[in-house]
Amino acid sequence: MKTLWMIQLCKLRLAWCLARRFLSYVINLCRGQYDFLERLSESLILYLLTFLDLQDIAQLSQVSHTFQKLCDSDKLWEHIVERSCDTVTPEMRALAQNIGWKQFFFTNKLQLQLQLRRWREKQEKSQDIILE
């Protein structure tokens, strides 16, 4: 009983000295619970995600808020679009940046053609206004 009390006292003293997150990290290390992915940079995790299938990306996005953010990121979906398309024209790139790369990927070809036509018309109108 006295040992348990001493452990609790030590935890309290450590909590005063160390940040709460660091204390949690140290306790998890002592328990053998170490999250290696947490220590990787965002760019490295995004690179690793490019090797996953779409179904795996969808499942991974449900693991945590961090992975949801990474799995929905434009950087990842830009890479997926470039990998799945033969060529990405400047018009396609502009439209994807406008609506988001993930939305661009999941939009069917007919809808994309319609949106590209509308985007071209909008660009032409804005150039006509500039020329006037």
Instruction: Indicate whether 116 belongs to any domain.
Output: yes
Where do we find the tokens 């939305």? 103
Report which of 77, 84, 79 is spatially closest to residue 103, judged by C-alpha positions.
77
* Domain hosting residue 101, numbered range: 90-132
- pTM of the predicted model as reported, rounded to 2 decimal places: 0.62
What pLDDT is attached to residue 16? 66
Alpha carbons 7 and 127: distance in angstroms, whole number: 72
Question: What is the domain count for the chain?
Answer: 2
Instruction: Indicate whether 132 belongs to any domain.
Output: yes
Instruction: Indicate whether 112 belongs to any domain.
Output: yes
- Residue 131 to residues 54, 124, 127: CA-CA distances in angstroms? 45, 10, 6
pLDDT in tens, 21-54: 676 777 777 887 777 777 788 999 999 999 999 9
- Residue 52 to residues 35, 48, 60: CA-CA distances in angstroms? 20, 8, 10
Instruction: Indicate whether 1 belongs to any domain.
Output: yes
Q: Which residues lie below 8 Å from residue 112, measured CB to CB, with a gap of 6+?
A: 92, 95, 104
Instruction: Indicate whether 69 belongs to any domain.
Output: no
pLDDT at 18 over 80: no
Alpha carbons 42 and 48: distance in angstroms, whole number: 10
DSSP 38: G
pLDDT in tens, 50-88: 999 999 999 999 988 889 999 999 999 999 999 888 888
